[in-house]
Amino acid sequence: MSIKRNPGIPLDLDAIVDIKINRSALERRAKSLGGRRSVKKQWQVAWLLKAITVIDLTTLAGDDTKGRVRRLCAKATRPVKEEVLKALGADKLNIHPGAVCVYHNFVATAVEALAGTGIPVAAVSTGFPAGHTPMATRLAEIRASVKAGAQEIDIVIERHMVLCEDWQALYKMIQKCREACGEAHIKVILGTGELGTLTNVAKASMIAMMAGADFIKTSTGKESVNATLPVSLVMVRMIRDYQEMTGYKIGYKPAGGIGDAKTALLYLILMKEELGDEWLSPELFRIGASSLLTDIERQLEHCATGRYAARHHQPLV
């Protein structure tokens, strides 16, 4: 499956003004979602395997080293123990995460470690996580990461542009980043936990897509509130509206706070219900996480053996 890339559209402020979001109603929908759908037995296995394929396996810590990044890449190459995959009849599915996500300084390390696996490297960029650095520096950062081999660039927006409703500036800023990315795909991190309202989240989502985002992403993982279901509901509904307006399909990436298999399934259900089966693939859906993988492995092992599995039996992420 290949998705026609979103070139962006001219800034359409009318479409922004009309956006209405009712928080209580969204929260009710988000709350009932888990009760409305359930996957069991081999369906659960298949869905958990799918969840692995949409993980952006991430390390974004101050103490990252080349060694740490190589370990992560090794895990990306072999995300689930082979005997478990075999037992589940999934050893031929070529299960691996959607990407490995690192800071610019470790792009080269990751590219080298993942050579031949087909797993792309994503770099966080543009003054991550706050975005308060000179524009020229940020654009140079993007170009450097692309040059180092990153196929995906996760940029952060300047939150003040949303809070002050400076949509023109936000649009231009994202557009410039998109230009700098060139062939690399661009994921636009909104920092939803710092945008104040769901309406702001919706408007920022729409601006990002108009400016050419390939993915819209909730958070850096560094805000006090990261991905939540209500926020996700707002963003995926904006993706639906944008597709309605332009025909382009935009990807969605919740990041931060998705740490267990059950929550990951809930997000897959959200995508299926609100956007459709096409969004159940790494082309259009990613989850930014690292410890999530361990929990999914444990659930898969449980499905394979019937015994609840221990954390320390799963190879370290």
Partner 1 sequence: MSVSKIFKSMEYGPAPESVSEANAWLDSHNRKFKLFINGKWVNGSGKAFKANNPANNDPLASIAQASKADVNKAVKAATDAGEAWRALSGFERSKYIYALARLVQKHARILAVLESLDNGKPIRETRDIDIPLVARHFYYHAGWASMLADELPGYEPHGVVGQIIPWNFPLLMLSWKIAPALAAGNTVVLKPAEQTPLTALYFSELCMKAGLPAGVVNIITGDGDTGKALVAHEGIAKLAFTGSTEVGKFIRKAIAGSGKEITLELGGKSPFIVFADADLDSAVEGVVNAIWFNQGEVCCAGSRLLVAESIAEKFYKKLRARMDKLRVGDPLDKAIDIGALVDDTQVKRVQSLIAIGLKEGGQIYQAKAALPKNGCFVAPTLITGVEPSSKLAQEEIFGPVLAAMTFRTPDEAITIANNSRYGLAASIWSENINTALDMAARVKAGIVWVNSTNQMDAACGFGGYRESGFGREGGREGMLAYLRLKSLAKLKPLKALEPMQQTVFEPIAGIDRTPKNYVGGKQARPDGSSVMPVVSPSGKLVGEVGRGNRKDIRNAVEAAAKHAGWSTSTAHLRAQILYYIGENLDARKDEFANRIKSMTGVSITKATTEVERSIERLFYYAGFADKFDGAVHNPPMRDIAIAMNEPLGIVGIVAPQEAPLLGFISLMAPAIATGNRVVMIPSDIHPLAATDFYQVLETSDVPAGVVNIVTGEHDVLTQTLAEHEEVNGLWYFGKAGGHAGVEAASISNLKQTWTHKGKAYNWTSADAQGRRFMEKSSQVKNIWVPYGA
Give the interface with partner 1 as residue ranges (CB under 8 A): 20-29, 32, 35-43, 45-47, 49-50, 88-90, 92-93, 197, 237, 240, 268, 272-273, 277, 280
114-118 long-range contacts (CB < 8 A, ≥24 apart) are 114/73, 114/76, 114/77, 117/76, 117/77
Which secondary-structure segment (H or E) carries 23?
Answer: helix 23-36
Q: Which is nearer to partner 1, 38 or 65 (CB)?
A: 38
Q: Which is nearer to partner 1, 173 or 304 (CB)?
A: 304
Structure tokens, 20: 């209405």
CB of 132 to partner 1, least distance (A): 26
Other C-beta atoms closer than 10 Å to the C-beta of 267 total 21
Catalytic annotation, residues:
154, 217, 253
CB of 83 to partner 1, least distance (A): 15
The Cα 299–Cα 309 span in angstroms is 7
Residue 122 has φ and ψ, to the nearest 5°, of: -110, 145
Contacts of 41 (CB under 8 A, 6+ apart): 303
Q: Which is nearer to partner 1, 13 or 140 (CB)?
A: 13
- Residue of 127, 194, 128 whose CA lies nearest to 161: 194
Pairing of strands 99-103, 121-125: parallel
Q: Is the dihedral of CA 112, 114, 118, 123 positive or negative?
A: negative
Q: Which is nearer to partner 1, 5 or 23 (CB)?
A: 23
3 state SS of 92: coil
The Cα 148–Cα 59 span in angstroms is 18
CB of 19 to partner 1, least distance (A): 9
Residue 36: exposure state from Cβ atoms within 10 A (0-12, 13-18, ≥19): exposed
Q: Which is nearer to partner 1, 89 or 182 (CB)?
A: 89
